[in-house]
Homo-oligomer: A and B are copies of this chain.
Amino acid sequence: MEDLIKYLKQSIPVSNEAEGFIASISTQINCVKGEVIMREGQTVDKIYFVVNGCLRSYCTNKNGKEHTLQFAIKNWWISDYAAIITGNSSPLTVECLKDSQLIEINVSDMEKLRMNYLEFESIQRKSTEAHLVSLQERILSQLQLSASERYDMFLKKYPNIEQFTRNYHIASYLGITQESLSRIRVEKADN
């Protein structure tokens, strides 16, 4: 729990009362490598804060090919915010890539936090805005940058993540084949 509070305190002062409320709505969970915590086709009513570990969200196309939307490491949040907003079922599955410690919070409890402690209103707005910026950057990088440049951005965004991920996780995040990813790595190693 302390990790989440510490993380929040980086953005705003958190009163003892708010801290108590956060503790009352948080559930600490441990998940093991390969475990699925959210499955495609379901509505989404929970968000997850990563205390430590590594997860990814992905969708699957009609041929069964997986495409990684997002990775989440220490101090990141993961869920499907679009599905939470629309109330539609999610196209995303979230799985643990290594044993992870998470804090699970119900979306309705997050709403209560926002209503009861107004300082969390602004933190949530900033968080939605930051998410929007990150999605737009992703689209523009997909349109504008070469695969090699996108790989550089990936490494910067998710430092040290490669040890927990398989090649197809990263290739499917970058929108390239595993062969192209291998080629890019060889080129980088040569330079």
Contact = CB atoms under 8 A, between A and B. Distances in A.
B139 A69 contact: yes
Nearest to A173: B143
Contacts of A125: 125, 128
Among A125, A135, A172, the one with the most B-chain Cβ atoms within 10 Å of its Cβ is: A135
Interface residues of A, number: 29
Interface stretch (A8-16, A17-25, A80-88): A80-88
Contact of A142 (B81, B86, B130, B175): B175
B133 A136 contact: no
A56 interface: no
Q: For the complex, would chain A's binding face be called helix, strand, loop or mixed by DSSP majority? A: helix
A143 to B, nearest CB: 4
Nearest to A143: B67
A91 B137 CA distance: 10
B85 A129 contact: yes
A135 B139 contact: yes
A142 B142 contact: yes
B175 A140 contact: no
Contact of A143 (B86, B130, B140, B175): B175
A59 interface: yes
Contacts of A82: 132-133, 136-137
Given A131-B132, A142-B175, 5 more contacts: A61-B144, A67-B143, A69-B136, A81-B132, A143-B172
10 contacts: A61-B145, A81-B132, A82-B133, A85-B130, A86-B133, A128-B129, A131-B132, A135-B135, A138-B139, A142-B142
Nearest 8 pairs of A and B residues by beta carbon:
A67-B143, A135-B135, A82-B136, A82-B133, A61-B144, A85-B129, A132-B132, A85-B133
